[in-house]
Amino acid sequence: MLEVCLLGTGGMMPLPYRWLTSLMVRYNGKSILIDCGEGTQIAMKEKGWSPKPIDVICFTHFHADHISGLPGMLLTMGNAERTEPLTVIGPKGLTRTVNALRVIAPELPFDIRCIEFEENEQTLCFDGLRIEAFRVNHNVLCYGYTIEIDRAGRFDATRAKKQGIPLKLWNPLQKGQTMEFEGKIYTPDMVLGPARRGLKLTYTTDTRPTKSIVENAAGSDLFICEGMYGEPDKEKKAVEYKHMTFKEAGRLAKEAEVKELWLTHYSPSLTRPEEFMDSVRNIFPNAWPGKDGKRDSTYRKKGADTGCNFTVSRYECKKRRIR
């Protein structure tokens, strides 16, 4: 199961009803945070999650609304007696930026490992999932992220019985382990069917529409994309400041043939993004305005063809469980 939560959906500055854009992803006990602006740890606290177990923090770029919450987050991790190393990934200049922010968070009981991107596209593997970073088009160096999880084929008990594979080996073989028993080697391909369709999430913010987004988001189960401006008269402003409109996000989702679109990173002036969703759904019907905590409405919707659920509820971020 892949659990996805928008901790915040605002751009530029936190508001009383909207935290700055940040995403938390959890899978098999691993936690990944994308961006950490001012107030991110408060949003996490409202969700009931702890920052202590975060394994990886990914930064899209180094504007303050995406990274200024890092010192406080690191100190909170340290106060929770974390000792495991933390991996931080992001554009070139990451190490310098993190070290500068650590001037006010100098003493930590854990090490920080910084990985800077050297290419326009780069792939990193972390315990059963892949993080693919790809460059987008903002007024500073900026990257989007795709997180992919491969799924092995289904276990075939009939094949296992026909080959006389001992019952006690079935479980480790199903988990992908190669086993040796009584001088014979047993491999997962002996009992697993064809690989199943995996899970794919793409997240991008602070950018103009680019070919790299379409290519990397292609076929994603969930595409989370910035929608800085919903108003039709803000198109020139989006071009000037290298952001996107709701319609442009909808066109990207359609071209990439994703399953579902969530919008995020709203301008502070955009107080009711749902009022502009019709223009997006005319282009891409399965589009939703991302929401963060302190919303009173709760609703559930079945995923189109993945059997997924997502929920928006009070004190919860927009959340989706992908099984």
Residue 226's CB is within 10 A of a number of other CB atoms, namely: 30
By DSSP bridging, strand 309-312 and strand 318-322 are antiparallel
Active site residue 189: no
Contact 158, 172 (CB under 8 A): no
The DSSP secondary-structure symbol of 266 reads B
Please state, in angstroms and rounded to a whole number, the distance separating the CA atoms of residues 215 and 134. Answer: 10
- Residue 310 bridge partners (DSSP): 301, 320
What 3-state class would DSSP assign to 323?
Answer: coil
Cα 233 to its chain centre, rounded Å, is 30
CA distance 284 to 210: 17
DSSP characters over 17-52: TBPBPEEEEEETTEEEEE---TTHHHHHHHHT--ST
Question: 159, 153 in Cβ contact below 8 A?
Answer: no
How would you label 108-130 residue by residue, b for 16+ Cβ within 10 Å and e otherwise?
A: beeebeebebeeeebebeeeebe
Residue 124's H or E segment, with its range, is: strand 121-126
CB 281 within 8 A of CB 243: no
In the set 65, 206, 221, 292, the catalytic residue is 65
Measured from the Cβ of residue 16, the count of other Cβ atoms closer than 10 Å reads: 6
Report the catalytic residues. Answer: 65
